[in-house]
Each structure stands twice: as structure tokens, then as C-alpha cells.
Chains A and B, each alone.
Chain A
Amino acid sequence: MIHTDGLTKRLGGRTVVSDVTFRCEPGTVTGFLGPNGAGKTTTMRMLVGLSEPDSSHAQVLGGRYRDLPNPGRRVGILLDASAQHAGRRGREALAVSAHTMGVPAQRVDAVLELVGLDEAAARQRVGKYSLGMRQRLGLAHALLGDPEVLILDEPANGLDPEGMRWMRGLLRTFADRGGTVLLSSHLLAEVEAVADRMMIISSGRIRAQGSSAELLTESRTIVEADDLAGLDAALHRAGLPTHPADGDRRLVEAEPEVVARVAMSEGVVLRRLAPAEGAGLERLFFELTTSGTSTPSTRTDSIHLEPRGATA
């Protein structure tokens, strides 16, 4: 379980993380999305006490991370896959940490096998590793202590499509067994398939968060009817915002099911009913993160985002 309430960090006079509030529950995978430099890494560093927040503090497993007696056994962290001594062999890098947290040496071989680093790779010095191998070593390191919580910064970075599929399976299994996962990415596609919940951060602020179902649900509908006036009237009475679209169509800010019910109850025959294309999370992500300092647009509200902090 991870919980923050108004986490804020200033660096060099600039607010890099501002009033960040979220909650990650056991059994869920939370995707932390945002462009590079949005504050994801700084937020994650504050979660694990490597960086001191200027206000508020993060809670991991019901207390501050630094108050955990043996944090490596409860929280697995991958913040930077390259943060290993280049002159140390892969297996030894894991063995040093296993030694520190009191994990038996066999566990090192087990996680190496799990992430697919073979004997030859384990004996190589980390300086010779490719980015993908470092990423796998980093994941092995995060899993080393058999933790309950995983905090992973850009774990898919450098993995090939097969590796990404493998990692998704791993995280899914971890969460299904009651683990809590927080993983960040600057690419929507990397987390979309595995995350139960998502948060989008840009310029240090959480712009949107909610369950993936909510965020991904198509909430705009293209509708066509012979009796356009009747349709407009019906939608107006139902209070659904409607915009004219190409041809004799209407773009309705509601889900197709809602529109269908309105049409049926008003006796309007529909010729076409379909989700609007190019909408959903991708558009939201793009809108929120490309304009830099922009505030959430009005459209954000139209796709049923939960208010910040009010998470289930």
C-alpha cells in the first residue's frame, strides 16, 4: 500500500512535484504516466526516502519507508537500472543486496532465472550489459527481497516487445497475489495493458487519475437518425451535450448505451450508433502532457474522471 497526500518538492527554486495525492492498493497495478521531466522519478524517490519532500510525506505499508526495519524485504524498487557499479558482475550485484537484507543466496539464482539472465550474463560485469539486460537485472533486484510492494520507474525502457509482454505477466501475477505495484512510463502503450489504475502527471501535478476502465471508456458517441430534430430534442431533454458532426450526425458526450436508452424512451429510430474515434485515454494523455503547463481542459471532466484524491 502506497499513500501520499499533497506531496510537494522544490528543486533549485522550481516546484518539480506539486501537491501530489494518490493511493495504490494491494492487488492493483497503478500506471504512473507522464512525459519525461514531469516529476515521476522525483515522486518515486520521495516515496522511498531518497529525496526529502518539502511538504507532506509519503506512506508505504502504513508508515514512512525509512521507518521500515528491513525495507528491501517488503518493498522492491527499480529507480534506475544503470545505478549499479559497472565493475561488479551481475550476480554479485544481486548477491551484495541479498547479503544486506539477509536473503539466502539461492534467491539470487532464482530471480536471475526468473528475469531470464543466464549463467553467462550473470558472470558478466554490469558495465558490459545492454540496456535491456540492465533492466532485467534491475527487475531481478526489485524482486530479490520477495516484497509486497513494487515501485518501478520506467521498467519497460529497453525491453523488447517480448520482454514487455513477459513483464506485464509478471506484474499481473504479482498484483493478483495481493501485491501492490506502481510503475511509471512516458508511453501509454506500455502501461495500458496491465494497469488497473492510472495517474497522469505533467509539470509536477497530477492531471487525472482513476481506474483504467473509467479512463479508457469511450464516453463520446457518434449517432445518426432520420429524425434529426427529434433526436436533438430528445438529447436536449436528457441533458446530454450534443455537437453537430459530419453529415447528418451528432457527436454526443455520453456513452453509446446512454444515448441508446434516451433514443428508445423517446421513440427515435437510430440509424447508426458508435463510439467516437480517437478519444479516451490516449487523447487525454496527449492533451494533458503535450501542452506543458496547461491546466486540464474542460474535456477532461467530460470523460468521468474522479476528482483528485477521491479514490476508492
Chain B
Amino acid sequence: MTATTLVAPIRENTAGVHARPGLGRLVAVELRKMVDTRAGFWLQVAMVALTVVVVVVRLLVGDRADHTFQPVLDVGLQPSAVLLPILGILLVTSEWSQRSALVTFALVTVRSRVLGAKLIASLLRAVAMLAVSVAIVAVGVLVSSPGVEGTWSDAAPLIGQSAVNLTAGMVVGVALGAILLAPAPAIVLLLALPTSWFAVLSLPVFSDVAPWVDYARGLGQMTEYVMSATQWAQVGTSLVIWMVLPLLIGAWRVTRREVTA
């Protein structure tokens, strides 16, 4: 192994030198970045472990007739619903806080493609986490209370709504991360926002508008019951305000900001 065989502008392997990395590859890279750091890895281990713990605890307490799919799912999705947005925040902000943006944006100069890949990777990760959570919940319910009447009622629409819950929550995380580009303030904002917003909305003046702009409540109800058309419309408007708008602002920030060394 000598320098001459490796350091060679006269390259041996010319495949892909002039080929732009495809979006599929960028998404795969972003999925990889979610698990190859210490923080990312343990965050996801924690997600699965906590899901198992809360499902087991939920099935050990209370009446056996109460151990149907819906209430256990409601509890079992909580760890993912809380931690996935944080994973989304870290996926964007670590590029800046760890300064790897210098490498990332030097390799992929069109930054919107990187952000797009992060977004798609986040959606895929949220769906994968949903599958894991639903599997844990289903196994738990089957083991603890087989044959209870109505165990699986509305399972399909509830799973569909849960998918929206987890993916939208994760995208909110990505968006907040992209706006602030620093993990600590983004996580604080993510956790403080729903509560403080709720405090504002509980003023009597806002009682009529509240359901239309409260995304936390809108997402929260998705694991509780099958939603009506009006409720979907309310979730839609609140997500435009709390997910789409921040995402646009964040995209603007990420593509414009100077990458400092």
C-alpha cells in the first residue's frame, strides 16, 4: 500500500464520477445518520424499550375487559410520539451543532435535496416505528386478553390515524430543527410549545378557534377514536400553521445560511 496507488488523479474507478447522487441514495444516507451516532442510536433503542415497558404496564393494571387494542395503542404510541420529533430535530440540527454541514453540503451542493432526503427519511422512520409499536401492542393484547369482545374494533382506522400522528409529529420536529438549527432551543420549543399554546387557547375568547389551531390536541385525539370530517379539517388547518409553515421557513433558512467553519 503506497501513496502512489491511492492518490491518483488518473483514477482506476471512474464509475459514478459524473453521476449526481440520486434521491434514493441520499435518503438511505440520512436513515443511516439517524442510527450511526451515539445519540441517535440510543434514542431509538429507548423508543422501542419504552414502548415495551408502557404496553406491559398498561396490560398488567386495570380490568381485563379494558385491554382492547385502542387503549393499549393509545399508551403504546406515546414514547414514539414524544421521541420521534426529537430524532427529527437532531437529524437537522446536528449538521450545524456538530458542523458536519460543512461535509454534507460540500458533497451535495443543492441543499434542498439534503433537506428533502431528511424529510423522506423521517417519514420512513416514523412509519417503521409505527409498525414496531403496533406489533408490540398487538402481541401484548393477544397474550394478555385473548378473546375479549371488540378487541380489534376500529383497528384499521386507528392505525391509519396513528400513522398521521407520528409522521406529522416528526415533520414538526424537522421543521423546528430547520428553523432554529440548534438542538437545545428546538427541543425546548417542541416541548414547551403545545403547553404554552394550550394555555393561550384556553382563554374563553379563543374557545371557537381553539380546535382549528391546536395541533397537539389534534394529533393526540388520533389514537383515541375514529375522527369525524370536521376533526380532520381542524387537524388540517392546525398542521398548516404548525407544520407546513415552519417547514417552509426552515427550508428557507437551511438553503440560505452560510456554512461557517
Contact = CB atoms under 8 A, between A and B. Distances in A.
A26 B21 CA distance: 26
Contacts of A211: none
B28 interface: yes
A114 B103 contact: no
B16 interface: yes
Interface size range of chain B in the complex: 35 or more
A85 B6 CA distance: 26
Given A79-B261, A88-B36, A99 B17 contact: no
Interface in A97-147: 97, 99-104, 110-111, 113-114, 125, 141, 143, 146-147
A209 B15 CA distance: 37
Interface string B90-120: 0000100011111111111110000000000
Contacts of B98: 83-87
A114 B6 contact: yes
Interface string B5-38: 0111111110111111100011011001100111
B159 interface: no
B1 interface: yes
Contacts of A80: 99, 102, 261
Contacts of B102: 50, 79-80, 83
A238 interface: no
A111 B9 contact: no
Interface string A162-190: 00000001100110011100000000000
Interface in A19-71: 26, 41, 45, 48-52, 65-71
Given A70-B20, A80-B102, A80-B261, A143 B7 contact: yes
A96 B106 contact: no
B39 interface: yes
Contacts of A218: none
B8 A68 contact: no
Interface residues of A, number: 56
Nearest to B100: A85
A50 B6 contact: no
Nearest to B38: A87
A155 interface: no
B107 A111 contact: no
Contacts of B94: 85
User: Interface SS of chain B: helix, strand, loop or mixed?
Assistant: loop
A152 to B, nearest CB: 13
A215 interface: no
Contact of A96 (B10, B15, B19, B33): B33
B258 interface: yes
B33 A70 contact: no
A83 B261 contact: yes
A70 B29 contact: no
B10 A50 contact: no
A82 interface: yes
A96 to B, nearest CB: 6
Given A96-B29, A114-B1, A114-B3, A84 B21 contact: no
Most-contacted residue by chain A among B12, B106, B109, B110 (CB, 10 A): B106
A178 B9 contact: yes
A113 to B, nearest CB: 6
Contact of B99 (A83, A89, A96, A99): A83
Interface string B238-261: 000000000000000000001111
Contacts of B261: 41, 45, 79-80, 83, 153
B4 interface: yes
Contacts of A147: 9
A223 B105 CA distance: 57
A99 B258 contact: no
Contacts of B11: 146
B20 A69 contact: yes
A102 B26 CA distance: 10
A87 B42 CA distance: 11
Interface in B211-261: 258-261
30 contacts: A45-B259, A45-B260, A45-B261, A49-B109, A70-B18, A70-B19, A71-B107, A73-B18, A83-B99, A84-B99, A87-B39, A87-B98, A97-B107, A99-B29, A100-B25, A100-B26, A102-B16, A102-B21, A110-B1, A110-B6, A113-B1, A114-B1, A114-B7, A143-B6, A146-B12, A174-B7, A174-B9, A177-B8, A177-B9, A177-B10
Given A87-B38, A147-B9, 17 more contacts: A49-B105, A69-B19, A71-B109, A72-B107, A73-B17, A79-B102, A80-B99, A80-B261, A84-B100, A87-B40, A101-B21, A102-B19, A113-B1, A114-B7, A173-B4, A174-B7, A179-B7
